[in-house]
Amino acid sequence: MGFFSTVFGLVGFGVGISSGLVIGYYLFVYFQTCDVKDPIVRRLVEHDSENLHGLLPEIPFWVKNPDYDRMDWLNRFIQVMWPYLDKAICKTAKNIASPIIAEQIPKYKIESVEFESLTLGSLPPTFQGMKVYLTEEKELIMEPFLKWAGNPNITVAVKAYGLKATVQVVDLQIFAQPRITLKPLVPSFPCFANIFVSLMEKPYVDFGLKLFGADLMSIPGLYRFVQELIKDQVANMYLWPNTLDVQILDPTKAMQKPVGILHVKVLRATKLRKKDLLGGSDPYVKLKLTESKAPSKKTAVKHNNLSPEWNEEFSIVVKDPETQALELIVYDWEKVGKHDKMGMNVVPLKELPTDEAKVMTLDLLKNMDPNDVQNDKVRGQIEVELTYKPFKEEDMPHNTENLGAVQKAPEGTPSGGGLLVVIVHEAQDVEGKHHTNPYVRINFKGEERKTKQLKKSRDPRWEEEFSFTLEEPPTKERMHVEVCSTSSRIGLLHPKETLGYVDIILADVVTNKRMNEKFHLIDSKNGRLLIELQWRAS
Amino acid sequence: MGLISGMFMGFLFGIALMAGLREMMRYRGRKRITKAADIKLLSSLNRDDLIKICGENLPEWISFPVFEQVKWMNKQLNKIWPFVADAAEAVIKESVEPLLEEYRPPGITSLKFSKLSLGTVAPKIEGIRVQSLKQGQIIMDIDLRWGGDPDISLAVEAALVASIPIQLKDLQVFTVVRAIFQLADEIPCISAVVIALLAEPKPRIDYTLKAVGGSLTAIPGLSDMIDDTVNSIITDMLQWPHRIVVPIGGIPVDTSELELKPVGKVTVTVMKANELKNKELIGKSDPYVVVYVRPLFKVKTKVIENNLNPVWNQTFELIAEDKETQSLIVEVFDEDIGQDKRLGIAKLPLAELEADTAKENELRLLPSLDMLKIKDKKDRGTVTIQVSYHEFNKEEQLAALEDEKKTLEARKKLKEDGVIGSTMDALDDAASIVGSGVGMVGAGIGTGVGLVGSGLGAGAGIVGSGFGAVGSGLTKAGKFMGFGGSKRSGSTTPVNSIQENEGAKPLQT
């Protein structure tokens, strides 16, 4: 008897609870509106102190911390732009989703899946502060604090077996602090090659998920579970040190690294036109690659000769064989005054075969304008032998992935030893008493190296690289680095001056493999010198 | 019994669960919405808000200037500057050289960069202000300051003198850049950007010019000319209301809304001037008046010789693009051998004009429009003009736009033919030629014929300057131009057609 009543009781409870749930659903949940309303944002002045207390944890970082910057202007910008962004994003999302949906639904016997409404709401993402870090490396690091507490309304209606179910996402809130690193910096627009994004902390995610109008996220425990799940998923992918990499430029191209060498042999010229009034001309040839900053190369001057033979060889570094061209200009040397141009021609490098010598005979022209009538005149010809040798793949530095990484020492370095590479980047606030034309002199084990001299510059940038091959790691040595200046005028009282020096202990370099540090100069008021040292052990 | 009580219990439990769920939903929904509202509120705070939150003692690092500070951006800019400078050099060369060519003053035959490096000092953004005054537009004002150390050398070729490199040093740029973003419904949501320099505060661009391996005095007035060129480029291209419109993102958008369009016609009658200053040693000044709204479209009156109270009574029509900010500039010159001297300048803001009513204005002449440059308070006399403003309707506007294009093209053509030295020349009227006689070729305009590529060298140059000395019909254009022999004879014809009718409107509207 007791047993039966218990069973009946349980069955009754089961029936009761299901009917209760259904009735309760219709009573309480069904008639709840599913519309998303704009939250009423009252002005702060109207808030009472109780509300203000609720506000305190959300105070933006720039108020609390001096190292964060305010970005309200950007917030205002986004706010005005938001309605347009909203429309554009939703439209794009729909366009992307609809073909995928159309492809997938036949598999699951679903009649249709469609967006009943799709809008990101009226509240734009906001930046609550921006922090930047300065390092000595060629990179920009910034950390914006992004908070999006929006009121989107994304309703997906699924129809299957004659029934319609709606899933609605409301009140999406995402707070994240991504670290955006732009590196390496390169001298061509947009001036950086890669963007790395990673999250410094697990993001905060919150939202309402309404199934048939009931917010599943309100079920105690479920919300926490889902939130943790999402956080972990995102964290697995993007939490520091994991990063999202976006390549903007091909760094090797952007850095304009040399990709090959062009060997030019200037053989001879024939039938040059006479320019001098008395005697023959004194021709010489000037060679230059277009779009290159390197100084042009010159052959010797052949005096009084209209069919000169030079047979001189030159090698020129090529950075982009697709666009660069070799420019040959024949000049007439003059003792006094300007050297006259006798003719010129241009050979685009892409027309050359690789690794193969090619002898070319070129007509000399006045200029490269094909329509200029003056080019019809015969100015003679020039004969050159051209060989373009691109660097082999293995010669190319494979440091696209991590430019900060130290390369291996080249072959031929004694075992146990290695290559010490010194890169002189720049100096700041160097000032001489009489002149400031700074260059850097490096003294190491009796060897002396110099950078080129920069004229009248208090903040010179050299970006020059030197290397020393060593028998053994320089654990006990020091390197003497000195910034010097010489007067541009000759024979004055102060021909040379030291702007400051620093002695670098190299043991640290050997243990760290790479150091990029700003040294304060000794015997200088406020001078600093940025030097990078690398130890490439074999 | 057990069944019924069980059902009843279950029923109650189920309803209670649902009621609980609803409460949870409401609670959580409310919480999220409050948070959203809070965050929205905190995204743009002002001083009063912060005082309300934090109390009177705000942290020291907080301030609320009109232009919001962007320290982070400056830090980044400093770092990336050497790379930007490298990348920008080529771009600047490509885009600025044609500009220099267009605005090149007469007297200089070629103006090119021979060296361009932007230096090591990065520009500084003092602040940014964002406002939205019009639906679908965002206005961003950037307060930009650049006290840079760029190394810019201009290769200037003037007639008579071979190319001299001129170095621009100690460049200082203080200006507020206004960027207007036109919004659109397609990604990237910005269909066009309008860039201009705000006229108020006036852009300040200072630099010193230095001739490399020579002296600037080699060409008299050269530094003034370069100043003029730079000034004209800036005021006529960039300074609000003039602007550059850049369409973005491949969305075909009608940007004509954003472009500067002729909105009205200013009819100016230069009547007379009184008590002009005498600048000549012998006799009195020979005054004429140049009138313009945009420096690209200058018109001038005839020269009245030896008179300090001249009466011209000549009428011109000029186009106005923005009545609110543009001004009518009236300059009085003394025609002279070599360079003409400016007797005074006056400005009449168009905003003061009433539509379609002619009004006489007596303007006091000033030595310069830049108040900082005025050093004396001497009286320079007055100039009297009668001005009326007519606002265009749609058809007139289109017609004016067409005309403007044609005029510009015609000028370009004249320039290519070597008739006028520069599109900047004031178009002359016939009177000055008639007045000066002496068989001078097409006076003001004709004088622009330089030694462009004539290769005659210095000898011809001296001859040319000899000519110049004789000519009294020289305008500013003739400052130090010789006559390039071969081209001279042919140069009158196209000019005369414009000059035919005395006192006419050289710029038909």
Residues A406-415 pLDDT 10s: 566 666 666 6
- Per the listing, tokens 């024979």 go with A491
Spell out which residues of chain B touch residue A132, defining contact as CB-CB under 8 Å. 72, 75-76
The span from the CA of A344 to the CA of A322, in Å, is 21
A123 at B interface, C-beta within 8 A: yes
Give the containing element (helix H, strand E) for A270.
strand A260-270
* Cβ of residue B253 closer than 8 Å to a chain A Cβ: no
Element (H, E) at B125: strand B124-131
Percent of chain A at pLDDT > 90 equals: 11
Are the C-beta atoms of B263 and B326 separated by less than 8 Å? no
- Please give the pLDDT value at position B186: 80
How far is it, in rounded angstroms, from Cα B210 to Cα B388? 45
| Token output for B169 | 């040093």
Q: How far B45 CA lies from chain A's nearest CA (Å)?
A: 8
A538: closest CA of chain B, how far (Å): 33
**Cβ contacts (< 8 Å) between B60 and chain A: which residues?**
66
At residue B341, the 3 state secondary structure works out as strand
Q: What is the mean pLDDT of residues B260-266?
A: 80
pLDDT at A375: 67
Name, in order, each residue with C-beta under 8 angstroms of A194's C-beta and a sequence gap of 6 or more.
A182, A183, A184, A245, A246, A247, A248, A251
Residue B214 clears pLDDT 80, i.e. is over it: no
Can you tell me whether residue B370 is helix, strand or coil? coil
> So what's the pLDDT on residue B220?
64
Q: Choosing among B4, B34, B35, B140, which should be mutated to test the A contact, i.e. which has the most A CBs within 10 A?
A: B35
Query: What's the mean pLDDT in B62-81?
Result: 88
pLDDT digits (tens, 9 = 90+) for A507-517: 888 888 888 98
pLDDT digits (tens, 9 = 90+) for A169-191: 888 889 999 999 998 888 888 88
pLDDT tens digits for range A358-372: 888 888 887 776 666
Confidence bin at B507 (pLDDT 50/70/90): very low
If 0-12 CB within 10 Å is exposed, 13-18 middle and 19+ buried, where does residue A463 land? exposed
For residue B460, CA distances in Å to A371, B441, B467, B473, B487 come to 29, 17, 10, 21, 13
Contact A126 B9 (CB under 8 A): no
- Give the integer Cα–Cα distance in Å for A181 and B428: 60
> Is there a contact between A302 and A382 (Cβ–Cβ < 8 Å)?
no
Best of A21, A33, A429 to mutate (most B CBs within 10 Å, chain B): A21
Token pair, residue B211, equals: 């001739």
Percent of chain B at pLDDT > 70 equals 73
Please give the ipTM for the structure prediction. 0.71
The pLDDT of residue B68: 86
Q: Render pLDDT for A416-447 as a digit per residue (tens, 0 to 9).
A: 778 888 999 989 888 888 888 899 999 988 88
Question: Taking CB atoms and an 8 Å limit, are A55 and B38 in contact across chains?
Answer: yes
Chain A: residue nearest B19 by CA? A28
**Contact status of B162 with chain A (Cβ, < 8 Å):** no
Query: What residues form DSSP beta bridges with B174?
Result: B145, B204
Each residue of B149-178: pLDDT tens digit? Answer: 888 888 777 666 666 778 887 888 898 898
- Examine the pLDDT at B132 and tell me if it is beyond 60: yes
Least confident of A29-38, A135-144, A348-357, B259-268: A29-38
Residues A136 and A39: their CA atoms lie apart, in Å, by 46
Q: Looking at residues A308-319, what average pLDDT do you find?
A: 82
Strands (E) located in B248-366: 264-274, 287-292, 298-300, 311-320, 327-334, 341-349, 359-364
Q: Cβ distance A464 to A451 under 8 Å?
A: yes
CB pair distance less than 8 Å for B35 and A187: no
A69 DSSP 8-state letter: B
Distance CA B288, CA B189 (A): 52
pLDDT band for position A528 (cuts 50, 70, 90) = very high
Asked if the Cβ–Cβ distance from B61 to A21 is below 8 Å, we say no
pLDDT given for residue A424 in this prediction: 92
- What is the average pLDDT across B411-440? 45
Closest CA to B221 of B207, B209, B235: B209
B30 close contact with A: CB closer than 8 A: no
3-state secondary structure of B332: strand
Tell me the two tokens of residue B394.
């749609």
Rounded to whole angstroms, the Cα distance separating A11 from A3 reads: 12
CB-defined contacts A:B, below 8 A: 284
Q: What is the mean pLDDT of residues B211-219?
A: 64
pLDDT over threshold 50, residue A220: yes
Pick the residue from chain B with its C-alpha nearest to A60: B42
In angstroms, the separation between the Cα of residue B199 and the nearest Cα of chain A is 22
pLDDT in tens, A120-172: 888 899 998 899 998 888 889 999 999 998 888 888 888 888 788 888 888 88
pLDDT level of residue A531 (50, 70, 90 thresholds): very high
Please state, in angstroms and rounded to a whole number, the distance separating the CA atoms of residues A284 and A302: 7
Q: What is the pLDDT of residues B361-399, one digit of tens each?
A: 888 888 777 666 666 667 788 889 888 888 888 777 778
Cβ pair A64, A72 in contact under 8 A: no
Q: For chain A, what is the radius of gyration of the CA atoms?
A: 36
Distance from CA of B143 to the nearest CA of A (A): 13
Summarize the confidence of residues B299-322 as an average pLDDT: 86
d(CA B334, CA B305): 9
pLDDT at B464 over 50: no
Q: How many CB atoms lie within 10 A of CB B197?
A: 22
pLDDT at residue B143 above 70?
A: yes
pLDDT: which is higher, B493 or B147: B147
**Given this model, what pLDDT does residue B372 score?**
63
Residue to mutate among A5, A11, A17, with most B CBs inside 10 A, is A17
Arithmetic mean of pLDDT, A482-486: 90
> For position B480, what pLDDT does the model report?
33
Q: Which residues contact B109 (CB under 8 A, 6 or more apart)?
A: B157, B158, B159, B421, B450, B451, B452, B453
The DSSP secondary structure of A441-497, one letter per residue, reads EEEETTEEEE----SS-SS-EEEEEEEEEESS--SS-EEEEEEEEE-SSTT-S--EE
Average pLDDT, chain B: 73
Is it the case that residue B14 has pLDDT exceeding 80? yes
Least confident of A385-394, B41-50, B139-148: A385-394
- pLDDT winner (highest mean) among A194-208, A362-376, B329-343: A194-208
Cβ(B114)–Cβ(B155) below 8 Å: yes
| pLDDT above 60 for B460 | no
What was the pLDDT predicted at B475? Answer: 33
pLDDT tens figures, B337-357? 766 778 888 888 888 888 788
Residue B289 has pLDDT above 80, yes or no: yes
Closest CA to B477 of B159, B101, B166, B215: B159
3-state helix, strand, coil in chain A (%, to 5): 25, 40, 40
